[in-house]
Chain A
Amino acid sequence: MSLVRFVTRRVLHSVPMLFGLGTLVFFLSRLLPGDPVSLYLSPGVPPGVAEHLRSQFGLDDPLWEQYLAWLSSTFRGEWGYSFAHGAPVDEVLLQFLPNTLLLGGAALVLECVLAFLLAALAVRFTGSWFDRALSSLTLIVYSLPSFWVGIMLLSLFSFSFTIFPSSQMHSVGGEQMSGLAAVVDVLKHLALPALTVAIPGTAVMARYLRTSITETMKQDYVVAAVGMGLSTGRVFRSYILPNSVGPVISVLGIEIGVLLTGVLVTETLFAWPGMGRLAVMAIFTRDYPLIIGCTLCGGFLIVAANLLADAVRAWIDPRIRLP
């Protein structure tokens, strides 16, 4: 019951947050120097066009009027038209959001699996060369820029060995494929970018998990459980694991948020049509409605992700009393 209340409470609290986010971004984006119209101008375009464009975009009204207009249309569910794409913002978002969710989801799965494997192995062989190597390796890998890792993977698996395709989501004519062939095609294109995105996250989670497991293993109840004669596997599953996933879940919450708002560098490198690139291009072209749209979308996903993380954490650890 408290879980339900917790979730409802969180949702209620998040609504003003999203509202505040939208307002903040609305004003901040207009405060940024440069305006969307200046990018349309070049020698040969008469300056009068700028005025016409501004009035078409609704930018010549006083700021408060623009804000109120935005408020009322957002509440009605109309998120406006993107300047650069000339299409409704929600349509544009819908074109890119599934791709990001796909990439983010795949990366997340990879991260959890790999982090768990690595941490468990490290703990199993604590103090051995594997443990130390893992420790060093995760840090090295985390400190490498992701474009680097991506380019390494590209060079190795795409250019040298042509195992995986080097860019985009589909092969040429891929959208015409149906059924299993289409799924396999997308998966092939997904492999490298998902791996690239997953690697820093894996490093982070593996480290937190390993630290956490090591800490938990020192606890008295674990010692007691072993002393009672329970098998290692049982001790690990029932005593150590639930108590050590705490910090990892918190990190996971952030990680989900990051992944779902799109990872610009990887998307650019692999030409993956995702939200990261969309948001950055919107900022560079001062496409105000799209900036707000992307931010609100991202905000919503982050709230959902953190809610999930907190709820899972509370479920695992009954000692945490939900507020």
Chain B
Amino acid sequence: MGSRVLRVLPCLFAIALLGCETKKEGMTGASHRPVVTIAIEGDIDSFNPLFAEDITAGEINDLLFPALVSSSFDITSGELTYGPLLARSWEYADEGRDVVFHLLPNARWTDGSPVTARDVQLTYELYGDPAVASVRQAAVDNLRRTRGELDVRKSVEVRDDSTVVFHFAAASPGQLFDAGLPILPAHVLEKLPRKDLRTDPVSTSPVSFGPFSLARWIPLQEVVLESNAQSVVPYPAKLSQLILRIIPEYRTRLSQLESGEVDVVGGIRPEDARELTRNAAAVEIISTPGRDYDFLGWNNIDPEAAATTTSATVKPHKLFGSSGVRRALTMAINREELVEAYLGDHGRVAFGGISPLFTWAYHQSMKPLPFDPQRSSSLLEEEGWRDSDGDGVLDKNGLRFSFVLKVPAGNQMRTVVAAAVQQQLRHVKIEMRIEQVERATFWQEVTMRKYDAWLAGFSVPLQMQLDDLWGSDLQKYPFNLMGFQNARVDSILAAVRSLKAESDGALLWREFQEIVQEEQPCTFLFWINNIVAVNKRVRGTRIGVLGTLHHAWEWHVDTTAQVVTAVSH
């Protein structure tokens, strides 16, 4: 038996020896081939912009398939601005209803074929075709209809190989936004049956024309983007390779960042951001505010009467139907304390429904409802809620103020915040139970308005497009989760649609925010910054409102000063 032990020992020893040789991953290329490694949490769902849902997939696809125009967000004015990309210039025609784009003449796909106006046309045909079932179908909504029907071939007109004209239904500020989607190769896709596009292998080995091309994709492991030497849109990427490693565990991503194995990690938690700023000299923290927010949703309408009804037959919710009650709930929650405890400098209290990013629309002088439990209690009492049976919970006409808050599972901070809110509501004698629900279930049921209350979050689009969240037509807008219906808000939303420039609607949006504050359809909690940590050796990043990989072709590596990580544990 002793001999058996002896036999095993050398094997273990050998394994240990093998292990000792490991080099730091990612450093192999540091000296002569500029490579940047990003750690991401989940796998890419598709390399086809028609189908990609995941945010990172979208950013990658933007690099593979540039659009006609490149977008930037001006922080001071709070507006999107556009510059040339595939289109070297454009002009307006027909009183601003048409936009004529002149494409770069020498852009080529990775298989050698030239990029032409036909590519643009087919791309939009595919986006809009129900058989393809792309999630970006809305892209063609604003194109001109011929006799009430949409014919993309007519609305996106090919004048010649390098000129394409977009005929919109009306002049609007969103024209360049609509025309700014990734462009796909017609010569590859037009031959394929539309309904099978989703499962066609072309999505996994794409023909592209952007500054990066897809070198390799190993599912659940990594995505390797390579600089495309032929690209003129705008030029081949300065990095030779951009590698995205899929590492689902947050702690591992963080330690790989600290050890230098990866250069960029997003989704950093606020307390870790503080740690990193203190301890890791080689890492820079970029905190982008204003795109994501969390809120407590109160179902304004009765779930039993919800689902398919029009405004005529909707009944107000027994607990949350009154705006007074909702305001009382907001005032019972100490949002400042939540921000201070859980977000620190990387968040702020949210209210009003419009992001502070849009400086022209944000209501600078309005303040969020204060934390005032006394006022909250008296407001509730005015609404008829009293603790008549002494059980510590308010009641009215025999109905106890007790409900279930549904929280989509998987977000640690939301669970913690929900527990904090639970305690704060108990102080005003409201009983709230928490139930975490698996994500798929949650989103299906909340859009069917089955829940009484929930804690969720949204990401705001960069175009002021709020109909989906606040429009009164509950069937058309399932994401108006609260069932909020207000005629004045509807007219505001209709009015801004027909404006020439987005910023013309400033006054209207101000009114919108005041109505939302007064009606308090939900309790906005806070804006959560997106915190990205970048190793200082990576230069030229434009990480911000438009995402981490925005204009990643400008990234380059500082090879002159090798910045070594200095992490003190």
Q: Give the B-binding residues of A (Cβ under 8 A).
A: 32-36, 38-49, 52-53, 55-56, 81, 84-88, 92, 95-96, 113, 117, 120, 124, 151, 154, 157, 159, 162-173, 175, 184, 187-188, 191, 233, 236, 268-271, 273, 277-278, 284-286
Contacts and interface: CB of A to CB of B under 8 A. Distances in A.
Given A34-B441, A56-B133, A45 B138 contact: yes
9 contacts: A36-B440, A43-B461, A44-B138, A86-B199, A157-B19, A167-B245, A172-B37, A236-B1, A271-B248
Interface in B32-82: 35, 37, 45-46, 51, 53
B359 interface: no
A146 B524 CA distance: 38
Contact of A86 (B1, B51, B137, B255): B51
Contacts, number: 176
B561 interface: no
A122 to B, nearest CB: 12
Contacts of A233: 1
B394 to A, nearest CB: 31
A39 B22 contact: no
Given A124-B1, A151-B251, A168-B222, 16 more contacts: A34-B441, A38-B443, A39-B443, A40-B53, A44-B465, A45-B135, A53-B133, A55-B133, A56-B131, A96-B219, A163-B16, A164-B22, A171-B25, A270-B252, A271-B245, A277-B220
B5 interface: yes
A96 B199 CA distance: 19
Interface string B434-468: 00001111111101000000000010010001001
A285 B29 CA distance: 37
Contacts of B261: 166
B534 to A, nearest CB: 18
Given A268-B249, A271-B249, A43 B468 contact: yes
A284 B252 contact: no
Given A43-B468, A47-B478, A184-B18, A95 B252 contact: no
B198 A163 contact: no
B26 interface: yes
Contacts of A36: 440
A277 B248 contact: yes
A284 B249 contact: no
Contacts of A278: 220
Q: How big is the B interface, by class?
A: 35 or more
- Per CB-CB distance, the 3 closest pairs between chain A and chain B, nearest first, are A34-B440, A52-B133, A273-B220
A169 B219 CA distance: 12
Interface in B217-231: 218-222
Contacts of B45: 84-86
Interface in B155-199: 195, 198-199
B20 interface: yes
B108 to A, nearest CB: 27
Given A41-B443, A44-B138, A84-B45, A159 B22 contact: no
A126 to B, nearest CB: 14
B221 A87 contact: no
Contacts of B476: 47
A174 to B, nearest CB: 9
Contact of B18 (A35, A53, A151, A187): A187
Given A87-B201, A163-B20, A172 B26 contact: yes
B199 A81 contact: yes
B25 A172 contact: yes
A284 B438 contact: yes
B252 A167 contact: yes
A165 B25 CA distance: 8
B469 interface: yes
B8 A113 contact: yes
A164 to B, nearest CB: 5
Contacts of B198: 56, 86
B492 interface: no
Contacts of A284: 438-440
B243 interface: yes
Contacts of A38: 440, 443-444, 447
B530 to A, nearest CB: 17
A56 B195 contact: yes
Contacts of A52: 130-131, 133, 137
Most buried by A among B135, B137, B479: B135
Contact of B135 (A49, A55, A84): A49
B180 to A, nearest CB: 14
Interface in B231-259: 243, 245-249, 251-252, 255-256, 259
A32 B22 CA distance: 45
B491 interface: no
A82 to B, nearest CB: 8
A157 B245 CA distance: 21
